[in-house]
Amino acid sequence: MAACPIVRRSLEDLGLRRMTPAQQLRAGRLPLRLGTLFLGLTLFGVSLAVMIQAGLGMMPWDVLHYGLSRHLPLSIGTILIGLSLLLLLLWIPLREMPGVGTIANAIWVGIVLDLALMVVPAVEPLGARIPMMVGGIVLNGIATAMYIGAQLGPGPRDGLSTALARLLPVSLRVVRTGIEVIVVLTGWMLGGVVGVGTVLFALAIGPLTQTFLPFLAVRLPPVHPGQGSRAPTGA
């Protein structure tokens, strides 16, 4: 099924192009985009640690990661990396295009998460945990917009969101929120920790990402006629 023209156009209005891996590297402003990518991924890993240490509910994917960690002798960051690589297999039928950022996301976020958990302290007073939780959610929205906006390939999880948003007549935030809800339920059944922060994140991350993306996406030079920057959509 071809991508919905209205949804595709709305994603382009956010500053995103659909590109092959080679086109991503040739699209221009590469140093700025690489810097934006790795800063975004680093902030993303830190935001996960902040939410975990706030103790008011993990982010949906971390509910799943933690649930799996209860059954596997691996750190939560290692499980995040492994699951990221498995999710890339789901890209094949969706014909989503990976890139440098896709691989970097799959590996770097898990490393940063394990390191950040050694540095970010857990807090006890509720008056400190609430702003810590909110700050983690907002930081994650900023980080997500940064690494998507670098246009070097979305992360394994966000690639599913953007691919489905192109294929279905719904917005990016609706797709993202739906995925987060499914993940949280699966993680909870595996023994993951769910709290008010989990619910707030699942409801807020889609709108936050869509809000920050126009400001944080790296605008690319115009494409000359015949150069073509979009990859073919699914048939």
pLDDT band at 185; cut points 50, 70, 90: confident
* Greatest mean pLDDT range, 69-78, 89-98, 216-225: 69-78
Within a domain: 34: no
In-domain check, residue 160: yes
Residue 96 lies in a domain: yes
Rounded CA separation 125/162 (Å): 38
At residue 42, what is the residue type?
T
Reported as a single tens digit per residue, the pLDDT across 139-175 is 999 998 998 888 888 788 877 777 777 777 777 778 8
| pLDDT for the residue numbered 20 | 74
What mean pLDDT is predicted for residues 121-127?
A: 88
| Two structure tokens written together for 161 | 């969101």
In angstroms, rounded to a whole number, what is the distance separating the alpha carbons of residues 36 and 232? 26
Would the pLDDT of 40 be above 80?
Answer: yes
Is residue 230 in some structural domain?
no
97: containing domain: 40-216
Q: State the total domains in the chain.
A: 1
Query: What does the pLDDT read at residue 223?
Result: 63
Angle, in degrees to the nearest 10, between helices 172-189 and 60-69 = 20
Per-residue confidence (pLDDT) for residue 224, from 0 to 100: 55
Instruction: Tell me which residue has tokens 């619910």.
Output: 199
105 domain residue, yes or no: yes
What is the token pair recorded at 138? Answer: 């907002």
Q: Kindly tell me if the per-residue pLDDT of 11 is higher than 70.
A: no
Helix (H, G, I), strand (E, B) or coil at 96: coil
pLDDT exceeds cutoff 60 at 121? yes
Tell me, yes or no, whether 157 lies in a domain. yes
Q: Is residue 66 part of a domain?
A: yes
Instruction: Compute how many other C-beta atoms are within 10 angstroms of the C-beta atom of residue 85.
Output: 12
| Confidence label for 95 from pLDDT (cuts 50, 70 and 90) | confident
For residue 176, what is the enclosing H or E element? Answer: helix 172-189
pLDDT over 70 (residue 5)? no
The answer to the question of residue 226 being in a domain is no
Per-residue confidence (pLDDT) for residue 15, from 0 to 100: 60
